[in-house]
Structure 1
Amino acid sequence: MLPVTLDRNRGEPLPAQLAAQIRALVLAGTLGTGDRLPSSRALAADLGVSRAVTEHAFDQLTAEGWLEARRGSGTYVAAAHTSGATVPEATSRSTRVTSPRFARSLPRSARVTSRLDTGTPFFDPRLEPGWRRAWREVSATTPPRGYDDPRGLPELREALAARLGRSRGLDVRSDEIIVTAGTTDGLRALLPELRRGPVAVEDPGYRAAAESVRIFGREVIDLPAVETVCDLGDAVAAYVTPAHQHPLGRVMPAADRLALIDAARRAEAVVIEDDYDSEFRYDVAPVPAMATLDRDRVAYLGTAAKSVVPTLRLGWLVAPPDLHERVLSRRTITHSGAAWPSQRALLTLLRDGWLDRAVRSARRVYAERAPRVAEAMSPYATLAGPLAGMYSTWLLPEPAAVRARDAARTAGFEINLLSDYARASGLTGLVIGFGGVSDAELDAALAAVTAALVRT
């Protein structure tokens, strides 16, 4: 029997309690790689709960990569803590890039009316009254007379701390949070405080992150986005999007998370976790933040761009203690900080439960649209990652991808090429977003794309 206990009087659902305790047993070394767990039926009987509780917990941990199900055999631990493990020389995977690669600019044969991108979320029109109410409160509130607290509004940081604990498993105090003007602002606050040296960035990956590294005069090291990284070389930081890799959509398995953190410890580097698109899983609960595994080694970046709107320009940073103090000191001197009206509006949206409703509404829409995209694209391309979030990425040869992109553009839709996100990897295909369009627009764009792919 597993040494776990469930408390029905706690506010946390029983499956989440069980998943958290099994995860803790793996991290503590009580459960090791290859250990067989009791069956879901047997564990449910031991705990006095329904089998659905144990099955849901096992499904969650399997999705996160902590467990693996072997057909006809049972459920086993797939990943265990590897601190202190030796690193084979052959596992050093990072490669250097010498020059930036920018998206190609091609002539447009028609005016683009809708963008099927990775950053525009669904906005439920039924939530507009709450949105307007938040801004009325901003207009009725007296702003600060001088520069505001560089950490952000205290009340907003309190609300964010509670939300991070509830939704991302991150136990933080409000004074450990710095409110930023978005993810990129948080990254650019961290970069000057790192010691000299290059920064590893996922490839393919977030173009703004790689460009931000270059702006600060640092070399970019290409970090393969779909491989286990056990050696960071001389990199002083590694920027990753583990909850939903941008743009491939892969969830970083638990074993890979542990390996990267151990590599960062040996290199005395910082893992910069961009918690991109983390709340929009359809099959299981969102995967806990990577920062929960090591707060001293992982700097956490969050954003309101995908759950509210990108133009709100708000995010948050939870940095290791030494970096937190240096970032805060610099922002105090430079009067850096997020805009007070946006902070005040987000506080109202959090307080009124608006943000939770927005996330639930968007998740339902994405869960319905993602299979429609898959049904249209599957005959012509290969899905790069699981169906989750507000976009999906499809692998296919570059000539076919370009023809499909151009056909969509002619029909009035902008769709990104995967090659625009790639540097050394050479991956090609299409990145199809479905958050910022209507159902009719999505269907029209898919019709244009598939018609072009039929002709290839």
Structure 2
Amino acid sequence: MPALPLQLDRASRSPLPAQLSAQIRELILAGTLARGSRLPSSRALAADLGVSRTVTELAYEQLVAEAWVESRRGSGTFVASPPGSTPRPVEARPIPTPETPVLVRLDAGTPWVDPRGVAGWRRAWREVSTAAPPRGYDDPRGLPELRAALAERLARTRGLTVDPDSIIVTAGTTDALRQLLPELPPGPVAIEDPGYRAAVETVRSFGRAVVDLPAGEPVTSLRGTVAAYVTPAHQHPLGLVMPASGRLSLLAAARAAGAIVVEDDYDSEFRYDVAPVPALASLDRERVAYIGTAAKSVIPTLRLGWLVPPPGVLEDIVRRREVTHAGAAWPSQRALLTLLRDGWVDKTVRAARRVYAERAPRVAAALAPYATLAGPLAGMYSCWLMPQATAVRVRDAARAAGFELNLLSSYARSSGPSGIVVGYGGVSDEELKRALRAIVGTLRASARPGIRSAALRMEE
């Protein structure tokens, strides 16, 4: 039986039995002790509170006399409902039931997971169950074998050659930011606008101001900031690719301001028109902090990522992690190691890329007559520009059909783009078909007559 939240004050003028009976009475009134709840035995309660059994017996006798509790011979002491009393109701949280609709998320971050990969996933966790865990806290950088596998993968897929000891395994993208931010000088952080909302909230949680960088425009100055957080391979959420001139301009601005560039390389592997764009960090390892994640190539709930910080802050981050024990969970690291070693991740990425390459044009064909595509087709989502009022109607229609659709405006701060972000990773083909039917139906109803007629001719 769980211990009751009781605390006796021996310095109080009130006798201990009176204190105890009063506290139990309050627990009953608050609904913490419901009618019919069994109380600990007087002996057990006395042991929990470190008092003599006489104290608990006297308290129980008082509560029985007041009809708050009742004693049942051979069974124990139970909460009763005294005549004329009305216990205070406990605020109840709604419990999801099978009848409660669960919206399917059409978001930018839920990947497609190959159902044929279950066997490899199970094998990885079987290996975790038989592997010997570290005797204490493990290497603050992360599992050495995993860092070696990640270094090989970064060189092969992202053109980024790093030593395994330069990699820090994190609990995801925002955790990488949390490791990096304390090592930067005081000052604001520039973030793309519209941009990744979790990054904005993470920066603000450290008491730092956020400076808006207009997404898609060249960065020519970072004066007054200590870092710039960008998604150059596939701008989140517009989907733009930062051109070579923009990359060089950004790095030059960072050098001039003495700032670092934080590169979030969240889904660069999912290009299906051209080869993946090389990592920005490959152009300047001294100035760029590189962040990667397993959320898109494996599953988000694995909660694993990696940070390749500039050499100047690497050891400071490692020392602080050693003190705070801020490493990622060892079982997840060990599982990812197996998935990488066995080729499971490569195979999953290839399969997902084929799925996205088929779904992206299907979404584009459905929406192009009514909205403007913000960036090239890539990754597991596309962004569509349209008036805000139309976007809201589309969002509401999707929700009525059972889908959660994000507005582009929810990613913006000072900029004014409006539209919708349509994710096609975390849905089945049938769900995507139903979602597009709801979206297009609303767009068609909102379109001007000329556009509507042209769209109908295209469908014919």
- Do these two structures clear the TM 0.5 threshold for a shared fold by scoring above it? yes
Tell me which residue corresponds to 2:155.
165
Tell me which residue corresponds to 1:418.
408
Specify every segment of 5 or more residues in structure 1 that has no aligned partner in the other structure, as ranges.
1-109
Cα distance in structure 2, aligned partners of 1:184 and 1:197: 19
Tell me which residue corresponds to 2:23.
none
Alignment deviations for residues 106-165 of structure 1 (CA, whole Å, 9 cap, x no partner): xxxx83431111111000111110011000100111211210111000000000000000
Cα distance in structure 2, aligned partners of 1:368 and 1:246: 21
Tell me which residue corresponds to 1:223.
213
Cα distance in structure 2, aligned partners of 1:330 and 1:242: 29
Matched ranges for 1:60-209 at <5 A: 111-209=101-199
2:350 to 353, 360, 363: 360
Matched ranges for 1:271-286 at <5 A: 271-286=261-276
Cα distance in structure 2, aligned partners of 1:256 and 1:375: 30
3-state DSSP class of the match of 1:200?
Answer: strand
Cα distance in structure 2, aligned partners of 1:239 and 1:326: 20
Tell me which residue corresponds to 2:223.
233
Cα distance in structure 2, aligned partners of 1:329 and 1:195: 17
Alignment deviations for residues 175-206 of structure 1 (CA, whole Å, 9 cap, x no partner): 00000000110011111110011000000000
Q: Match for 2:138: what amino acid?
A: D
1:348 to 331, 338, 351: 338
- The question of whether the paired residues in 2 share the 8 Å contact of 1:307 and 1:358 is answered with yes
Cα distance in structure 2, aligned partners of 1:287 and 1:308: 20
- The question of whether the paired residues in 2 share the 8 Å contact of 1:245 and 1:251 is answered with yes
Deviation at 1:454, TM superposition (A): 1.3
Cα distance in structure 1, aligned partners of 2:150 and 2:267: 17
Question: Quick check: 1:433 aligned with 2:423?
Answer: yes
Cα distance in structure 2, aligned partners of 1:112 and 1:413: 8
- The question of whether the paired residues in 2 share the 8 Å contact of 1:112 and 1:409 is answered with no
3-state DSSP class of the match of 2:405?
Answer: strand
Tell me which residue corresponds to 1:304.
294
Cα distance in structure 2, aligned partners of 1:117 and 1:237: 27
Q: Match for 2:397: what amino acid?
A: A
Cα distance in structure 1, aligned partners of 2:379 and 2:394: 22
Q: Which has the larger radius of gyration?
A: 2
3-state DSSP class of the match of 1:221?
Answer: strand
2:278 to 263, 273, 288: 288
- The question of whether the paired residues in 2 share the 8 Å contact of 1:199 and 1:236 is answered with yes
Deviation at 1:287, TM superposition (A): 0.5
Cα distance in structure 2, aligned partners of 1:434 and 1:257: 29
Deviation at 1:376, TM superposition (A): 0.6
Cα distance in structure 2, aligned partners of 1:326 and 1:183: 19
Q: Match for 1:442: what amino acid?
A: L
Deviation at 1:276, TM superposition (A): 1.6
Deviation at 1:267, TM superposition (A): 0.1
Alignment deviations for residues 202-255 of structure 1 (CA, whole Å, 9 cap, x no partner): 000000001111000000000111100110120100000001000000010010
Tell me which residue corresponds to 2:234.
244
Cα distance in structure 2, aligned partners of 1:283 and 1:417: 26
Q: Match for 1:172: what amino acid?
A: V
Q: TM-score, normalised by structure 2?
A: 0.75
Q: Match for 1:353: what amino acid?
A: G
Q: Match for 2:420: what amino acid?
A: L
Deviation at 1:284, TM superposition (A): 1.0
- The question of whether the paired residues in 2 share the 8 Å contact of 1:197 and 1:234 is answered with yes
Structure with higher RCO (Cα < 8 A, 6+ apart):
1
Cα distance in structure 1, aligned partners of 2:122 and 2:102: 29
3-state DSSP class of the match of 2:289?
Answer: strand
Q: Match for 1:117: what amino acid?
A: D
Tell me which residue corresponds to 2:96.
none
- The question of whether the paired residues in 2 share the 8 Å contact of 1:242 and 1:275 is answered with yes
Cα distance in structure 2, aligned partners of 1:283 and 1:146: 47
- The question of whether the paired residues in 1 share the 8 Å contact of 2:103 and 2:399 is answered with no
3-state DSSP class of the match of 2:232?
Answer: coil
Question: Quick check: 1:452 aligned with 2:453?
Answer: no
Q: Match for 2:374: what amino acid?
A: A
3-state DSSP class of the match of 1:455?
Answer: helix
Q: Match for 1:431: what amino acid?
A: V
Alignment deviations for residues 5-28 of structure 1 (CA, whole Å, 9 cap, x no partner): xxxxxxxxxxxxxxxxxxxxxxxx
2:432 to 418, 442, 450: 442
Cα distance in structure 2, aligned partners of 1:137 and 1:274: 30
Alignment deviations for residues 370-411 of structure 1 (CA, whole Å, 9 cap, x no partner): 000001100110000000000000000010000001000000
Between Structure 1 and Structure 2, how many residues are aligned?
348
> What percent of counterpart residues are identical?
72
Q: Match for 2:315: what amino acid?
A: E
Cα distance in structure 2, aligned partners of 1:280 and 1:346: 19
Cα distance in structure 1, aligned partners of 2:108 and 2:313: 30
Tell me which residue corresponds to 2:13.
none
Tell me which residue corresponds to 2:204.
214
Q: Match for 1:323: what amino acid?
A: V
Q: Match for 2:368: what amino acid?
A: S
Alignment deviations for residues 320-345 of structure 1 (CA, whole Å, 9 cap, x no partner): 11111111111111010100000000
2:375 to 385, 406, 420: 385
Cα distance in structure 2, aligned partners of 1:114 and 1:136: 31
